[in-house]
Amino acid sequence: MHYWKGLDSVPTDMAPAVVTIGNFDGVHLGHCEVLDSAVTQAKMRSAKSVAITFDPHPAQVHRPDSAPELIMGLEDRIDTLASVGLDATLMINYTLEFAEQSAEEFVRSIIVEKLNAVAVVVGHDVRFGHGNSGDFDYMRELGTKYGFDVIGVEDVGDKRRLSSTWVREELAAGNVEAAAAILGRPHRMRGEVVHGAARGRELGFPTANLAPESAGIIPADGVYAGWVIDEAEVRWPAAISVGSNPTFEGVSRVVEAHVIDRPEEGYEEFDLYGQQIVVEFISHLRPMVAYRGIEALIEQMNDDVVQARSVLATESH
């Protein structure tokens, strides 16, 4: 997939394209329905499939104090968009100046003139242009005016429409399995491994601590079974702790992953410090609680490892 960072990166001799538009935070199954339709339509028309998306998220620009936390970082969003089979993604730097464009100006200058669209594939709830003044019906009017087809994709979901908001709700409750069902894949965080308080190592459970600025929503406090993926793309089973370490009266929330069943050979040399790793959350094992004494905590941590190993043994990966 081609990744065009900004309008100036779009080829001047752009082939006919089928275009879709969205923030695509999380790239959940509802998004994938739209994206898959765009890819299919492009193949039918011998055109290129192109997704337009934005960074930063428009809500972070218009209402930074109340904008939702992003489900995934930019790198993972681009990688996931590539995985659906798109020919290209156009990333537009979203600014207040950009937001001043009228709905028609956005369509004419970018979708028509820059991307040479022969079709636009969107959900029926699409909004675009200044003040979100453009909607699905207006896109159809502009399609008639500028000569491109508009294909609407129905919402996905039985009792509730699949959405990024729903994913955030499930992660906030620690329901990583439910979030994965909406996303179509496990929720993940990505970040650098940094030094922590080293309490886990002292207790016999060394952990890889994610830096506070890591990308991706931190799920609810608790212990999870999951995977650590290192820079070499090796997947390691892990018991993942999220919280403030109440047994030790911690304050700040941290994400730390204890890799289980590490190779005995070179055990002491198994070092992830400084690496950019991915942590995938598969199953919630228990809430975070404070224990009376170190022995009770160690006993529980041993049990966490046993549970995590059992859960992950059934996971296909």
Catalytic residues: 256
Crossing angle (nearest 10°) for helices 176-183 and 164-172:
160
DSSP 10-34: S-TTPPPEEEEE---TT--HHHHHH
Q: Are 209 and 195 in contact (CB under 8 A)?
A: yes
Q: Residue 92 has which token pair?
A: 């537009």
**Left (φ > 0), alpha (ψ -120 to 50) or beta: where does 173 sit?**
alpha
